Amino acid sequence: MACETKTWLVLHLLLLVTCYMQHCVHGQSSQVPCIFIFGDGLSGNGNNNMLPTTAKANYNPYGIDFPTGPTGRATNGRTAIDIIGELLGFADFIPPFANTSGSNITKGVNYASGSAGIREETGKHMGANVAFGLQIENHKIIVSRLAANLGGLPQARNYLNKCLYYVNIGSSDYINNYYMPQFYTTSRIYSPEQYAKTLVNQISLYIQTLHDVGARKLVLVGLGRIGCTPKVIAANGNGLCDENKNADALIFSHKLKSLVDKFNTLHLDSKSIFLNRTARAVLDRSLGFTVFNNSCCPMNSNGMCIPNSIPCMNRKEYVFYDGVHVTSTVNNLTASTAYDSASNPETTYPMDIKHLAQYTFT
C-alpha cells in the first residue's frame, strides 16, 4: 500500500516535471486552446505583407519596439490581441493566415487585414485587402484542415468550441469608406444610423456563420473615437476632434453591444462579450499620456507612417503611433482591462475575457 502510494507519487511528480519541461512552459497551460482573430490593421500581423496595397505596416518605423522589428503590425510594439494572447497564457504569437503553411494552426490563426472592413469595398482605394467575408471563408478552410489533423469534423468542433474568437472590425468602414465620398457612395445612401445598422446586421450574419462552424466564445470590440484620430484631426485643421464622427462610432458601438445581448439570448450554448474601447478607464491623462492629437511617426495622406521616417522618442506618452493606429502602450491598457476588468467594470460587458475563458456551459 505504502509502496503503491510512493510509486503513484513518484509518477505524479515525474508527470509534473515532464509537463513543466515540455508543455506548460511552451504554452500548453493557456486558458483557451486557441484564438481566431478577425479584423483590420488594429489586429493585423502580416496578412497584407504580400498584397498589392499601400495599407501595409511591414517597414520601419513600424515594429520599432517589437522583438523582431517590422512584421506587418500597425503599431510600434505589440497589438492588443498579441497582449491578450499573452495574458491568456500563449507563449507564441498567433500566426497570420497568409503564413500558415509554415506554422502550426492548432493554437489559432489571425485573419485580420489592414484597411479591411465589414463591407467588401471598404479600403480598396488603397489596394487589396481581406474583407470580413473573405476572412470567414479563410476560417472555413482552417476548420477543414483542423478536422483533417484532429481525426474528423466532430473532433474539430469539440476542440473549436473551447477557443476564443476575437472580432475587431468596423473602423475602416468609416475611415476608409463612409468618410471618403470621393471614392465611395455609402454616405450618400445611408444616414449614420442606417449605416451602423447595416454594418452590425452584417456582423450578425458573419458571427452566425462562425457559430455554425464551432465558435462558442466571442469577443466583439467596439470602435474607438474615430473623430479623435490624428488623420481626422489633421483634416479638421483646428487641432480638435470631430465630434460628429465620434457620435457615428458610438451609434455603431451601441448596436454592437445590443447584438451581444441578442446573440446571448438566441444561443444559450455560446457566450459573447462586448469591449468598450472608449471607456474612461482606458485613456486617462493620469496614465502618463501627454500627446493625444498627433501621431508619433510622421504620416502620409492615408495616415500610415512614412517609410523610414524617424518616430517620436517618448512613445509611452503618445496615444497614436500613426494617423489611425494607437501605440502599444494604449494596446497594453486595452488588453489588460479587457482581460481583467475588475477595476474598470465598464470596459467589458457582460464579463471580461478572463471569465469568458473560464466560462463553462451548463
Which residues contribute to the site for ligand NAG (CB under 6 A)? 46, 71, 77, 95-96, 99, 102-104, 106, 222, 233, 239, 253-254, 257, 276, 278-280, 293-294, 316, 328-329, 332, 346
Nearest residue (beta carbon) to ligand NAG: 239
Q: State which residue, 139 or 257, has the beta carbon closest to ligand NAG.
A: 257
Strand pairing partners for 37? 110, 166
Shortest Cβ 8–ligand NAG spacing (Å) = 27
Q: Which is nearer to ligand NAG, 249 or 356 (CB)?
A: 249
Least distance to ligand NAG, CB of residue 106, Å: 4
Report in angstroms how near the CB of residue 168 gets to ligand NAG at its nearest. 14
Cα separation, 110 vs 279, whole angstroms = 26
**143 by DSSP, 3-state: which?**
helix
Q: How long is the chain?
A: 362
Task: Give the nearest distance from C-beta 5 to ligand NAG in angstroms.
Answer: 32
Q: Which is nearer to ligand NAG, 264 or 332 (CB)?
A: 332
| CA atoms of 232 and 239, how far apart (whole Å) | 9
Cα distance between residue 256 and residue 18, in whole Å: 45
Pick between residue 264 and residue 278 the one whose CB is nearest to ligand NAG.
278
To which residue does cell 487585414 refer?
113
The answer to whether 143 touches 160, Cβ cutoff 8 Å, is yes
- DSSP one-letter code for 282: G
Which residue, 125 or 292, is less far from ligand NAG as judged by CB?
292
Helix (H, G, I), strand (E, B) or coil at 228: helix
Q: Cβ closer to ligand NAG: 75 or 115?
A: 75
The least CB distance from residue 99 to ligand NAG, in Å, is 4
The residues near 229 (Cβ < 8 Å, ≥ 6 apart) are 175, 303, 320, 323, 324
Residue placing its CB nearer to ligand NAG in the complex, 184 or 277: 277
DSSP string, 282-333: GG-GGGT--EEEEESS-B-TTSPBPTTPPPPS-GGGEEESSSSSB-HHHHHH
Largest CA distance in the chain: 82
| Assigned C-alpha cell, 61 | 518605423
Least CB distance to ligand NAG at residue 258 (A): 9
> Shortest Cβ distance from residue 75 to ligand NAG (Å)?
9
